[in-house]
Chains A and B, each alone.
Chain A
Amino acid sequence: MTTTENSPEARYAGDTRTVTLRVNGQEVTREVPTRTTLADFLRDDLDLVSVHLGCEHGVCGCCTVLLDGGSVRSCLMLAVQAQGHEIETVESLSADQNNLHPIQEAFAEEQGLQCGFCTPAMVLRTKEILADGQERTDDEVRHEISGILCRCTGYQNIINAVQNAGRKLRCGGAGGCGSAHDEAKGA
C-alpha cells in the first residue's frame, strides 16, 4: 500500500490506534491493534475476565457486555470501535461477597447458574432488561434472554433469578420486601 503523508489515507496508517473509553465508570486510554476485538481488549488489556469467549462468532452470547447501556456481543466489535463509548462488564456490580448487587443475590438464591460460564452475560442482560422496572412472565424472560446460551441450567432457574432480581430492585435493593418474594413463591 502506497500511502503518503498527503494522501487521505495517511490517517489510517499503522496497525494500532489509541482508544479512550469509559469502562465500568473509569476512563481508560490504551494503544490497541486495530484488529483486536473488544472482547480480547477487555480480557487481555484490562483483565476483565468475566467477559467469556465461547464461540467467538456471535452465537453463544457469553461475551455480552453493555455498550452505552445496551447489550452487545463484544466478540463482534473491534476495540477501536468502542472509542468514546461507555462499556460495562459484570465487574461493575459487586466483588464483595457480603454485599452483593441484588441481581447477583438473586442468581445465588435461585441457583441461577451451574458452571457459571454464561452467568456474567446473563447478569448483565438481566440488569439491562430490568431497567424498566416491569414485572415479567416466564415467557417474556425466556424471550429476552434467548440471545445467550446456557448449557447447564435448562434456563428455568435463570428465569426465576431474573424475576427474583426484579422484585428486589423494585423494592429498592437487596433484602428488602421479603414478603413480595414469599408471596410470589406461593407462601
Chain B
Amino acid sequence: MKPPKFMYCDPDTVEDAIALKSRYGHDSLVLAGGQSLMPMLNMRLANPDVLIDINGISDLKRITRTGEVLEIGAGVRQSELETDAAVADAVPLLGKVVPYIGHIENRHRGTVGGSLAHADAAAELPCAAITLDATVVVQGPSGRREIAARDFFEGFMTNACAPDELVVAVRFPVASAASGSAFVEVARREGDFALAAAAAVAEVGTDGRFTALSIGVAGIAATPVRATVVEEALVGQAATAENIAAAAKRIADRVTAGDDLHATGTYRKHLAATVVKRAVVAAVADAQNRSNGS
C-alpha cells in the first residue's frame, strides 16, 4: 500500500503543467486534491510515469464573480466552498451540495476541478454542475476552451478533456433571486458515495406554477443525468406535492445502473424518484422562503 515510483513534477504555472501534459500525455496523471488519485496510487491501481502536482499553481485558486458569472478555479478546495460568502450569495446550491462530499478531512484537500475531472457519476459536484448549466474551462497548448457541463461528462469516469488539456476553472451562472435550491442524497453511511442523489433549482410564479426548473441526478447511470423528462412535465404546472411526486416517477426510465453490492437496480429506480421528489419539494419551499424573506 505504497505509491509506485514516478517522476514528481510540481509546476508553478498552468502553462508549465500543460507543457508536461503535452509531453507525457497518457503516461502522466494530474494530482489535484488527491482524495481519489492517492488511494489509486497507494493501491497501485494507477501507475503513472509522471505525476503532475498542480497544488502549487496559485492561479487555479481564485474565486471571482464577474457580473452574473461565478468562476471557481480548479484548485479551490471543496471546504472553501462551504464557508465562502461570495459563493453562498451567488450560487446557494453549492453550499448545500458540498457538505455531502466525503468527510471534512477529504474536503480540506479535495478540489473543485479534481472532482469534476474525476467524473464519478455518483459524485456531488458533477451533479451540481449539470443542474446549474455550468461551463467547464479547460486549457491546452493552443489555449482555452469552454465545455458545457452536460457535454463534459462523457461516460463512466471519462471527461471531454484531451490528454494535453487541464481543467482550469468552472463557471456557474449566478442564481436568480427568485429561485430556490435543494440537494437530497441517500447513502449507506455518512460520507459514502450516493446510492442516489438529486439537486434541484426551482422558480415558481405568483400563480403557484413552475416557471423554471432544473434537476440533476447522481448515482443512477454512467454520468450524472439531467432529469429533463421531469422538468418538462412540471414547468407550467402547479408546484404541488402531488404533481411533483407524479412527475418524479418519470426519472425511473433514465436509471441504467443495475444491481451491485450496494443496491439493486430496482431499488435505485425507486430511490431516484424519491430523491428527485424530495429535492424539488425542498427547492420549492426554499424559493418561497427566499421570496417571503426578501
Contacts and interface: CB of A to CB of B under 8 A. Distances in A.
B38 A1 contact: no
A73 B3 contact: no
Given A12-B9, A35-B5, A76 B35 contact: yes
Interface-centre pick from A73, A76, A77, A78 (highest chain B CB count, 10 A): A76
Nearest to A17: B8
Interface-centre pick from B6, B43, B109 (highest chain A CB count, 10 A): B109
B contact patch SS:
loop
Interface in B143-190: 189-190
B8 A58 contact: no
A186 interface: no
Nearest to B24: A1
B258 interface: no
B8 A71 contact: no
B103 A61 contact: yes
A48 interface: no
Given A9-B9, A9-B20, A75 B106 contact: no
A143 B43 contact: no
Contacts of A67: 108-109
Contact of B42 (A9, A15, A37, A61): A37
Interface in B13-35: 16, 19-20, 23, 31, 34-35
A1 B109 contact: no
A159 interface: no
A104 interface: no
A75 B1 CA distance: 10
Interface residues of A, number: 35
A43 interface: no
A107 B125 CA distance: 36
A71 B108 contact: yes
Given A57-B43, A58-B38, A146-B191, A71 B105 contact: yes
Interface in B82-104: 102-104
Given A8-B19, A77-B109, A40 B2 contact: yes
Nearest to B19: A8
Contacts of A70: 79, 108
A76 B8 contact: no
A46 to B, nearest CB: 17
Interface string A62-84: 00100100111101111011000
B6 to A, nearest CB: 6
Contacts, number: 96
Contact of A57 (B9, B42, B108): B42
B115 interface: no
B106 A73 contact: yes
Contacts of B190: 143, 146
B133 interface: no
Contacts of A144: 104
A77 B38 contact: yes
A73 B36 CA distance: 12
Interface in A40-57: 40, 53, 56-57
Contacts of B20: 9
A142 B227 CA distance: 33
Nearest to A128: B104
A34 interface: yes
A72 B108 contact: yes
Contacts of A15: 5
A144 B9 CA distance: 35
A147 interface: yes
B105 A56 contact: no
Contacts of A12: 7-10
B205 interface: no
A53 B1 CA distance: 10
A15 B51 CA distance: 12
A71 B104 contact: yes
Interface string A143-177: 11011100000000000000000000000000000
8 contacts: A9-B7, A13-B7, A40-B2, A58-B39, A67-B108, A70-B108, A81-B34, A147-B104
Interface of A: 1, 8-9, 12-13, 15, 17, 34-37, 40, 53, 56-58, 61, 64, 67, 70-73, 75-78, 80-81, 125, 143-144, 146-148
